[in-house]
Amino acid sequence: MSKLLSEWSPSEPALNLIKFNGVDGEQIQKSLEYLKGQKDLSDIDDVDGYDNWDAFFIMFCIKASGKSINPN
Q: Model-level pTM greater than 0.85?
A: no
pLDDT in tens, 11-27: 999 999 999 999 999 99
| Number of alpha carbons in the 13 Å side-chain half-sphere of residue 39 | 0
Among positive and negative, which fits the CA dihedral 34, 21, 19, 45?
positive
Q: Write out pLDDT tens, residues 20-46.
A: 999 999 999 999 999 988 888 888 888
